[in-house]
C-alpha cells in the first residue's frame, strides 16, 4: 500500500497531524473535497466541532466519499470529533434538527463532550496496547465511548472506559494524540495501511 495519507483539513489540528505523519515518512495530502482522496491509503479525521464537521462533510460530498474510500480498503482514523464521525451511535443526535448522519462505520456508541467543557481539559498518561511506553493523552471536550461492538478491539482505557479502539482498518481515539509530541499513535495508524 501507498504511504500517502490524507488529513481532513476542514477544522481542528490537521496541521499537527500532518507534521507527525511527515516525521514518520508519510506523504501528506490535505483533504477538502472527494477528489483529494485519490491515491491515498488512509485518512485522519481530526478534532473540531462534530456537528459542524458533519454538515461540511455532507455539503462537500465527503461523507459518501469517505464511506466509499473505506469500502475500497482505505484506513480511517478519527480523533476526538473525528471519532464521533466514525461512530455508529451518537447520544443526543435527535436533539439537533437537520443534522446529517455521521459516517456510522465503527461499531461503537459515543457521547459528545462527556469529559466536560473546555475548562475541564486535562492530560493523563495512558497505557496503549502496541505502544512501548505510556502515551500522554490530551482530553479536550472529549467524547466518551459508551459501547463497543463484539468486533471492536479496545486499545486503551481511562477510568474504565475505552478511549482508543480499532475495528479492522478503522481507528478511533477520544483524545488528541497530535498534541502530545509522541508519534506513537500515528505510527500505529500507519501500520493499518
Residue 2 in marked binding region: no
Rounded Cα gap, residues 56 and 63, in angstroms:
9
| Catalytic-role residue among 17, 70, 167, 176 | 176
| Catalytic-role residue among 17, 80, 167, 186 | 80
Please, are residues 3 and 186 in contact by the beta-carbon 8 Å criterion?
no
Residue 16 in marked binding region: no
The H or E element that residue 161 is part of is: strand 161-167
Q: Please confirm, yes or no, whether 167 is among the known catalytic residues.
A: no
Rounded Cα gap, residues 89 and 94, in angstroms:
11
Q: Which residues pair with 43 in a beta bridge?
A: 6, 76
The H or E element that residue 180 is part of is: none
Residue 121 in marked binding region: no
Q: Please count the other Cβ atoms lying within 10 Å of the Cβ belonging to residue 48.
A: 21
Residue 25 in marked binding region: no
Residue 130 in marked binding region: no
H-assigned helices in 116-174: none
| Catalytic-role residue among 17, 70, 167, 178 | 178
Q: Please confirm, yes or no, whether 67 is among the known catalytic residues.
A: no
**Nearest partner of 99 among 109, 114, 113, 84, judged by Cα:** 84
Binding site membership for L-glutamine: which residues? 48-50, 112, 140-141
Q: Any idea which residues carry the catalytic annotation?
A: 80, 176, 178
Q: Known binding site: residues?
A: 48-50, 112, 140-141
Amino acid at each position: 500500500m501507498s504511504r500517502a495519507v490524507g488529513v481532513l483539513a476542514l477544522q481542528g489540528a490537521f496541521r499537527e497531524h500532518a507534521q507527525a505523519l511527515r516525521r514518520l515518512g508519510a506523504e501528506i495530502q490535505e483533504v477538502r473535497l472527494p477528489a483529494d482522496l485519490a491515491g491515498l491509503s488512509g485518512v485522519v479525521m481530526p478534532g473540531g466541532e462534530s456537528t459542524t464537521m458533519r454538515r461540511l462533510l455532507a455539503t462537500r460530498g465527503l461523507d459518501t466519499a469517505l464511506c466509499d474510500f473505506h469500502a475500497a480498503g482505505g484506513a480511517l482514523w478519527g480523533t476526538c470529533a473525528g471519532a464521533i464521525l466514525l461512530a455508529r451511535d451518537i447520544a443526543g443526535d435527535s436533539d439537533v434538527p437537520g443534522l446529517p448522519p455521521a459516517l456510522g462505520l465503527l461499531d461503537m456508541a459515543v457521547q459528545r463532550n462527556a469529559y466536560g467543557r473546555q475548562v475541564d481539559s486535562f492530560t493523563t498518561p495512558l497505557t496503549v496496547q502496541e505502544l512501548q511506553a505510556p502515551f500522554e493523552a490530551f482530553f479536550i471536550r472529549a467524547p466518551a465511548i459508551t459501547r463497543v461492538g463484539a468486533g471492536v478491539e479496545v486499545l486503551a482505557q481511562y477510568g474504565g472506559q475505552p478511549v482508543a479502539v480499532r475495528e479492522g482498518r478503522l481507528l478511533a481515539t477520544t483524545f488528541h494524540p497530535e498534541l502530545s509530541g509522541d508519534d506513537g499513535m500515528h505510527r500505529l495508524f500507519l501500520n493499518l495501511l
